[in-house]
Structure 1
Amino acid sequence: MASLHYVCSLLSILVCLITIAATGPITASPPPVKAAYWPSWAESFPPSAINTNLFTHIYYAFLMPNNVTYKFNIDNSTAIQLSNFTTTLHHKNPPVKTLFSIGGAGADTSIFVDMASHPRSRQAFIHSSIQVARKFGFDGLDLDWEFPQNPKEMHDLGLLLDEWRLALEREAKATCQPPLLFTAAVYFSVDFFVADVYRKYPVGSINRNLDWINAMCFDYHGGWDNTTTGAHAALYDPKSNLSTSYGLKSWKLKDPNSHEIGSPAVDVGPGDKGLMQFVQVGEFNRMNGATVVYDVGSVSTYSFAGATWIGYDDEISATIKVGFAQALGLRGYFFWALSYDDEWKISTQVARAWILND
């Protein structure tokens, strides 16, 4: 009789350390950026619950413009939430800077494509974004366009950033206020292929216009990779360029006795399409007596119990990534997302590690 393989899953979390690259000319060492995105749908985790001792900047995630006017239509409930977000975080001890992020992984990117392709729609979008930031007391704004799909879209992104920065400077001068911070979340690599189409970020425009970029150094592997396990935020990978140094979602294991990175896998598992929060990973490990392994080669952590394999970042791997970021002269780090940590374990360790390495 053929042996039966129990089908369980590899689960990943998105509470991983991400580097923030400093851009533009620097005359003096700027203070480090210790940032995190706050999911606006996290009803059980209000802004008042954020430990601001661990961060310098908090992003509100997410807003999207109208798909016809390219302006932001803020309804009453969202307006209340935005005001509460900035007021709460500005009055915390210590206070933090606030930015709102536009887009996100679930956004309809066709809106960005259409908006960025015409001067008039770009101007409508830019003007509206500045209005929202000032009206609700934000310190800045962030573009999370995931991702421009071809050279034309990358070119239009460059035009958008140029015009956006100019508008920000003009608005600050006209209102005698400090310029709004201006950042973007980008793919972990400056150039990449999607569906055999090569594209490259407009580096010149990014360097001229953005205060920093949030390089999304995760999702290197996932449910689309359902034949082997893999570290979704590997710092190193000698077999490919899918690693933070170059540039986990979930699987179901075929063989419970093969549990290292690269083991055969079958399919995505439980959780939100195979995703779990860091606190849920900790609960799984405790309840199932899971074996936890730190993988030196990729600088990542995984645990396994039976046929279930979980890849994630913990305090050890995050600390090493902080050292890597500082060795490269990067400006800081950010997390996706605030509500996913487990009693601030990773956030606290990373904040301490950056201070110790200064």
Structure 2
Amino acid sequence: MLRLIVLAVLVCGVLSSPRTSGVKTGTVIEPKNDKVFGCYHTNWSQYRPGAGQFFPYDIDPFLCTHLFYSFAKIANGVLAPYEWNDESTDWSKGMFEHFTDLKMQNPGLKTLLAVGGWTHGSAGFTEVVASASSRKKFNDHAIGYLRKWKFDGLDLDWEYPGDNVRGDDPSKRPENRELLTVWCAELRAAFEAESAATGQERLLLTAAVAAGKGNMDAAYEINKFQASLDWINLMSYDLRGAWESVTGHHTTTRPHSEDDADTQLLTVEWAANEWLARGTPASKLVLGMGSYGRAFTLAGAENGVNAPASGGASKGTYTRETGFWSYYEICEKLAQGFKVEEEPVRQIIYAHSATEWVGYDDINSLDRKGAIMQGLGLRGGMVWALDLDDFRGTFCGQGTWPLIKKMKHMCLGGDYSPPPAPTTVPTLPPTTRDPNAPTDPPTQPPTRDPNNPCAGVPDGVMVESGPCSPEFHHCSGGQIIHTQSCGSPLVFNEACSCCDYTANTPSCQN
């Protein structure tokens, strides 16, 4: 009964009654020269606690030209929802509908459904591209699914086709590189045929693609597959991270001569130029930017770039991911005394305490990415993700959406008034964690009631269904409200609240 009550509260109090904390106003975007500023929304941000909780109806519909809903998945060879409340029901609107309803406020806005993501893996995509019949099955279903939920297109986020890119993933196949080209051509043809037959505006087709050389080589026939796409979203972030033994900025702008040859390629500048050099027109390339930072635990007294590190830094207060901090959580760290540094050769900023280090962008360092975008004449930019900026204006003293407003200006032009630097440290929400409290996750997950692993667990937290299991539960009110499963061969790792390999997962080490 308690589970039903909790679910009813969520449905009636959250889904049916969107927050109305302020009236959104703005001008319908009319980008010049078909410029793009795309913004990704993550459907798991609804589970964050307190001030970090984020829903589609929290999005300002005048910020972006295109919104991407992340993620749908592939199940039984066709599109399917990831979350329990993505689709509407007879008794409540779902998140898809709240998302596409934003076009009622801004008729110039376009919404796309993104399928895949890192956690999804390759298996579903491999199943789809394997034959002409399986591709047609997906394509035909996708058209109906996108129209039903009023999306304007599909964004393919296959991480990644080809070989050598997902460790021990058994679905990796070298032939996927060529099959992706075939599939995109057939999907685009299906979208065009449906538009011609119905008179509706053609569905858009885009793809989120890798920025690292190894993935570029293995995953894409770059000069061919892009021909079927409206544009490509270059994921020029996550280039460095806590999987390394030294600190590194995940959106490094330019290389440094002191880095080794491989690291010098892990830059935004190199990635953008390489996609162009391999045959992508500048009019089809959209530069990715991040509204978050990758954070490390320092392993000694050094605190610069390439300082020794011992893994990811503490979990974000709201993202609850090890070594992954939203911009507003970084502002929280700055308020606690982190020192900001600039590295002019790499054209980056970072911040550190005595024990932790984070690389990120602020409204000033974003200018370096804007210079690349404009200098190369790219189609525009995109951001991962809306829910990681200071969307409430609570933390950073720079008003609402400070990073995304700056990115919009860089991509689309128009008036822009940079927010003044705060003269005082912002007052942080009462849900902020005590900076002196221990933050390291336990080496083993806590003992839980096997009949109810959510018992005693805070709202919004995700827990394993059992040791070393791919299945995990979302908790609220001490009860399970939704269950998901990681794609093979991944299992759920509570230490990072993510799907991970067994070698990295504490509960698999017994």
TM-score, normalised to structure 1, is 0.84
Counterparts in 2 of 1:5-20, with a 5 A limit? Answer: none
Residues in 1 aligned to 2:107 and 2:183: alpha-carbon distance in whole angstroms = 34
Counterpart for residue 92 of structure 1 = 105
1:346 lines up with 2:353 in the alignment: no
Contact 2:111 2:152 in 1 (8 A): yes
Tell me which amino acid in the other structure corresponds to 2:373: A
Cα distance in 1 between the residues matched to 2:413 and 2:202: 31
Deviation at 1:250, TM superposition (A): 3.3
- AA in 2 matched with 1:42: S
The whole-number CA distance in structure 1 between the counterparts of 2:159 and 2:146 is: 22
Match in the other structure for 1:233: 251
Contact kept, 8 Å, 2:154 with 2:206, in 1: the verdict is yes
CA drift of 1:95 comes to 4.7
Q: Which runs of 5+ in 1 are unaligned?
A: 1-28
User: One-letter code of the match for 1:79?
Assistant: E
Deviates more, 1:138-147 or 1:198-207: 198-207
Whole-angstrom distance in 2 between the partners of 1:182 and 1:30: 19
Q: Which runs of 4+ in 1 moved over 6 A?
A: none
Corresponding letter in the other structure for 1:283: E
Superposed counterparts of 1:1-358, under 5 Å: 30-43=33-46, 44-66=53-75, 69-73=76-80, 77-80=85-88, 81-87=95-101, 89-93=102-106, 95-150=108-163, 151-189=174-212, 191-192=213-214, 199-225=218-244, 227-238=245-256, 239=259, 240-247=264-271, 249-256=294-301, 258-271=302-315, 272-287=321-336, 289-342=337-390, 343-356=400-413
Question: 1:159 & 1:323 partners in 2: Cα distance?
Answer: 35
- Counterpart code for 1:308: E
Deviations 1:207-227 (A, max 9, x none): 3210000000011111210x2
CA distance in 1, matches of 2:224, 2:148: 27
Q: Is the 8 A contact 1:303 1:311 kept in 2?
A: yes
CA contact (8 A) 1:231 1:298 kept: no
The corresponding residue for 1:22 is none
Letter in 2 for 1:158: T
Shift of 1:334: 0.8
* Alpha-carbon contact 1:182-1:210 (below 8 Å) kept: yes
CA distance in 1, matches of 2:139, 2:129: 10
CA contact (8 A) 1:52 1:95 kept: no
DSSP-derived class of the 2:296 partner: coil
* 1:313 aligned partner, one-letter code: D
In structure 2, relative to structure 1, the CA distance for the partners of 1:60 and 1:355 (3 Å cut) is: closer
- The DSSP-based 3-state class of the residue aligned with 2:332 is helix
CA distance in 2, matches of 1:107, 1:170: 29
Query: May I ask how many residue pairs the two structures share in their alignment?
Result: 320
Contact 2:207 2:233 in 1 (8 A): yes
- The runs of 5 or more residues in structure 2 that have no matched partner are 1-31, 47-52, 89-94, 164-173, 272-292, 316-320, 391-399, 416-510
2:78 is matched by which residue type in structure 1? K
Q: How far did 1:357 drift?
A: 8.6
**Once the two structures are superposed, what CA deviation does each residue of 1:173-192 show, in whole Å capped at 9, x if it has no partner?**
11111111110000015x52
Describe the shift of the 1:200–1:42 C-alpha distance in structure 2 as closer, same or farther (beyond 3 A): closer
After superposition, the CA RMSD in angstroms is 2.1
Secondary structure, counterpart of 2:87 in structure 1: helix
Provide closer, same or farther for how the CA distance between residues 306 and 73 of structure 1 changes in structure 2, counting only shifts above 3 A: closer
Separation of aligned partners in 1, 2:372 and 2:223? 25
CA offset at residue 76 of structure 1? 7.8
Instruction: State whether residues 161 and 205 of structure 1, in contact with CA within 8 Å, keep that contact through their aligned partners in structure 2.
Output: no
Give the structure, 1 or 2, with the largest relative contact order (CA under 8 Å, sep 6 or more).
1
C-alpha displacement of 1:94: 6.4
Cα deviation for residue 200 of structure 1 reads 5.0
How far does residue 304 in structure 1 lie from its aligned partner after superposition?
1.0
- Alpha carbons of 1:251 and 1:144: their partners in 2 closer, same or farther (altered >3 Å)? same
The AA in structure 2 aligned to 1:235 is: T
TM-score normalised over the length of structure 2 = 0.60
Counterpart amino acid of 1:55? C
Residue 97 of structure 1 aligns with an amino acid whose one-letter code is: K
